[in-house]
Amino acid sequence: MGEPAHLTSATVNEERHIPVLLAEVLAGLNVQTGGRYLDATIGGAGHAQAILDASAPTGQLLGLDRDPDAASRAAARLACFGARAQVIHASYVQLAQWLDGAPWVDGVLFDLGFSSWQVDDPERGFSFREDGPLDMRFDPSSDVPTAAELVNQYPMEELVSIIRQYGEEPQARRIVQAIVTARPICSTKHLADVVASVVHYAPRHSRMARHRGTSTGAGERHSRMAHHPATRTFQALRIAVNHELESLETALPQAVAVLRPGGRLAVITFHSLEDRLVKSFFRQAERGCICPPESPVCVCGRKPSLRAITRKPIVPSKAEVEANPRSRSAKLRVAEKL
Ligand SMILES: C[S@@+](CC[C@H](N)C(=O)[O-])C[C@H]1O[C@@H](n2cnc3c(N)ncnc32)[C@H](O)[C@@H]1O
């Protein structure tokens, strides 16, 4: 980790990840000529490229990604920007350390979750649509336990709590009982089948569509996909394997610290746990003081550090969801450093 990413032949000329809420991100970050930006989750560099274009001819961007493959793909895509773009294989939990030389930036972007490349590659183990090893690590070169290790080795109660908490899955206990009976489970399909054997949801969209007697094409197809019985279990395991919420909690204050006053922080989330975390971080940072309400004077001395630009999160338009169904659960929140 922490190495500048290099171009590999496997990563060139593939452009399958469509950046979500692109125009809204550029406006939210208030991208300006000559600005300095940090893309904490560079992925396929779709947002990053647009930021570099909008800040031309002198704007600079540093991109991080925990996935070595994503980092090299991004480096390849941004090679034409020369020294204006730098990509490092690193987690955003250490984001402040990569800005050592010149600590201030004008904007920080987090586009959370996974990219299309990651979910579409069965070898990464993120998806139950195709069979693959039960891995789910964003960084396969790291030694964190894989999803298979969690599923096969964690005690029952710990697994119940992971699936209940991170998947918001009401049937967590029933699922874990089935998992424990079926152990060992080493592939995504096996896990999906085990979950599907005990969880039976009526897909929400079909109830709604029956009500309305309508169909929304691609959006509907994908909302049906979102309600595969294993969706919540897979989300929970991915969050647990990659310590996603803890990482975000550590990184957000660092992002505020590296912003210059007036700089913007933009965060795109894809599920309610992430969105709640970001919303509550923004609220606290706006408020500053964390003294209990009964305290007559402030003793904590904390001052507000952010002003929210978006009171409600920005969500994709109907047209964007039709064109890119994977954007359907995206929420963008933006705040400005005081
Ligand atoms: C939705 S994709 C980003 C897509 C990107 N905005 C684009 O336009 O192509 C999210 C990326 O975040 C990366 N990621 C996840 N956790 C990370 C972390 N802790 N630090 C850095 N990158 C992370 C994933 O590997 C993935 O490539």
pLDDT digits (tens, 9 = 90+) for 157-173: 999 999 999 999 999 99
At 16 the pLDDT is 74
**Per-chain mean pLDDT for the chain:** 90
Q: Which of 14, 16, 18 is nearest to 327 (CA)?
A: 18
* Whole-number Cα distances in Å, 209 to 42, 162, 234: 36, 32, 26
Q: Phi first, then psi: what are they for 106, rounded to 5°?
A: -90, -15
Q: Phi first, then psi: what are they for 160, rounded to 5°?
A: -60, -45
Asked whether 91 lines ligand 1 (CB < 6 A), one says yes
Q: Tell me the C-alpha distance between 37 and 41, whole Å.
A: 12
At 218 the pLDDT is 37
Asked whether 66 lines ligand 1 (CB < 6 A), one says yes
Token pair of 7 as six digits? 């171009």
* Whole-number Cα distances in Å, 31 to 19, 48, 102, 225, 265: 16, 11, 18, 35, 11
At 78 the pLDDT is 98
pLDDT digits (tens, 9 = 90+) for 221-245: 344 444 799 999 999 999 999 999 9
At 143 the pLDDT is 94
pLDDT digits (tens, 9 = 90+) for 85-120: 999 999 999 899 998 767 799 999 999 999 999 999
- Does the pLDDT value for residue 141 go beyond 80? yes
pLDDT band at 181 (very low <50, low <70, confident <90, very high): very high
Token pair of 35 as six digits? 């600005």
Token pair of 253 as six digits? 């204050």
Asked whether 69 lines ligand 1 (CB < 6 A), one says no
Q: How far is the CA of 161 from the centre of ligand 1 (A)?
A: 26
DSSP string, 5-29: P---GGGTT---PPPTTHHHHHHHH
- If residue 183 lies in a helix (H) or strand (E), which one and from where to where? none
At 203 the pLDDT is 53
Of 15, 18, 61, 66, best ligand 1 pocket probe by most atoms within 8 Å of the beta carbon: 66
At 200 the pLDDT is 79
CATH of domain 3-116+245-337: 3.40.50.150
User: Are 241 and 146 contacting, i.e. CB atoms less than 8 angstroms apart?
Assistant: yes
Asked whether 47 lines ligand 1 (CB < 6 A), one says yes
Q: Whose CA is nearest to atom 2 of ligand 1?
A: 115
At 227 the pLDDT is 74
At 99 the pLDDT is 87
CATH of domain 145-241: 1.10.150.170
Q: How far is the CA of 5 from the centre of ligand 1 (A)?
A: 14
Location of structure tokens 């709604």: 208
Per domain, the residue ranges of the chain are 3-116+245-337, 145-241
- Does the pLDDT value for residue 176 go beyond 60? yes
CA of 248, closest atom in ligand 1: 19
pLDDT band at 207 (very low <50, low <70, confident <90, very high): very low
Q: How many other CB atoms are found less than 10 A from the CB of residue 322? A: 15
pLDDT digits (tens, 9 = 90+) for 242-295: 999 999 999 999 999 999 999 999 999 999 999 999 999 999 999 988 888 888
User: Are 227 and 205 contacting, i.e. CB atoms less than 8 angstroms apart?
Assistant: yes
Q: How far is the CA of 94 from the centre of ligand 1 (A)?
A: 14
* Whole-number Cα distances in Å, 19 to 8, 58, 85, 112, 283: 22, 23, 18, 11, 27
